[in-house]
Structure 1
Amino acid sequence: MATVSVIKLSQNQMQIMSGKTVAPRRTSPIAGVVVIRLHLTMSATTAFISELIQAATEVPHLTMAERTGLLRRAAAMIRDYRDEIHYSVTPANDGGSQEDVVYFLNEAAGFVDDFSDREFAETILEAIGVIQAAQILFEKKRKIERGD
């Protein structure tokens, strides 16, 4: 299962909550918590997509915290793929606009209780499509870099 690893910082000590120690990527809005880059592997992405598909079919059984977590993880995975493929920030691909999928997923995560089960499932399915497209671009980039 692909997860965002979280490190709690206190008195210059780091306690890994999940995963391996890697260089911190971003500081979260929660003081003392650093979000770590997702490991972008085919198996991790495939496992996460499977988890999203299962969640989309079992929305009524998900807690609000689980829904929030899924949206935030999907946004993080898309953002990390973009970073890896050097996604350009142009007016058509503006990473900070309200029309951007990463922005939308992060915002939606704060308002999951306002979504109907159907709306949440549709949002998850859209995220899956974006993750799959980003995964394809990432794999093509890797093939080009290797000279395949």
Structure 2
Amino acid sequence: MSLTTAFIAELIRAANEVERLTYYQISRLLDRSVDTIRDMRRQTAIASGHRARDVVIDLQLALARARDLSPAETRDVLLDAADIIRTLKIALDGIT
């Protein structure tokens, strides 16, 4: 299993157990998601499309207000991050 696949699984697992996560864990996952998305977008040479850019902005906003997110909002943002990372992984695998 690649590191990217493992991280996607970690995000999904966290989304399914959101009530057990601490503020620090949520913040860390969101921060790693932003970094991962930016790095993968550079690797795939995908121009800053509206969907990818919006996800990064949404993740940064969620990160800034992680303490105030409801469990449903936290679940949604973690699943959004997993989805865009999965999409970028597919694009990256198609390049290599």
Deviation, 1:94, is 7.7
Q: Which runs of 5+ in 2 are unaligned?
A: none
- One-letter amino acid of the counterpart of residue 39, structure 2: D
Aligned partners of 1:118 and 1:139: how far apart in 2?
31
Which residue matches 1:103?
Answer: 57
Residue 141 in structure 1 maps to residue 95 in structure 2: yes
Of the three residues 39, 44, 66, the one matched with 1:112 is: 66
State the 1:113 CA deviation: 1.4
Larger radius of gyration: 1
How far apart are 1:107 and its partner, in Å? Answer: 2.1
So what's the TM-score if we normalise by structure 1? Answer: 0.60
The structure, 1 or 2, with the larger RCO (C-alpha pairs under 8 Å, 6+ apart) is 2
Change (3 A) 1:44 1:94: closer
How many percent of aligned residue pairs carry the same amino acid?
36
Structure 1 residue aligned with 2:39 = 80
Q: Do the aligned residues in 1 keep the contact of 2:52 with 2:84 (CA within 8 Å)?
A: no
CA gap of 1:59–1:75, structure 2 versus 1, over 3 A, is same
Write out per-residue CA displacement over residues 6-41 of structure 1, whole angstroms, 9 at most, x where no aligned residue.
Answer: xxxxxxxxxxxxxxxxxxxxxxxxxxxxxxxxxxxx
For residue 76 of structure 2, what is the aligned residue in structure 1? 122
Q: Is the 8 A contact 1:76 1:102 kept in 2?
A: no
Aligned pair 1:89/2:48, yes or no?
Answer: yes
How many residue pairs align between the two structures? 96
Letter in 2 for 1:57: N
Q: TM-score of the superposition, structure 2-length normalised?
A: 0.90
Counterpart-to-counterpart distance in 2, 1:93 and 1:122: 16
RMSD of Structure 2 on Structure 1 (CA) = 1.7
| Distance across 2 between alignment mates of 1:121 and 1:86 | 29
Structure 1 match to 2:29: 70
1:61 aligns with 2:15: no
Cα separation, 1, equivalents of 2:67 and 2:35? 20
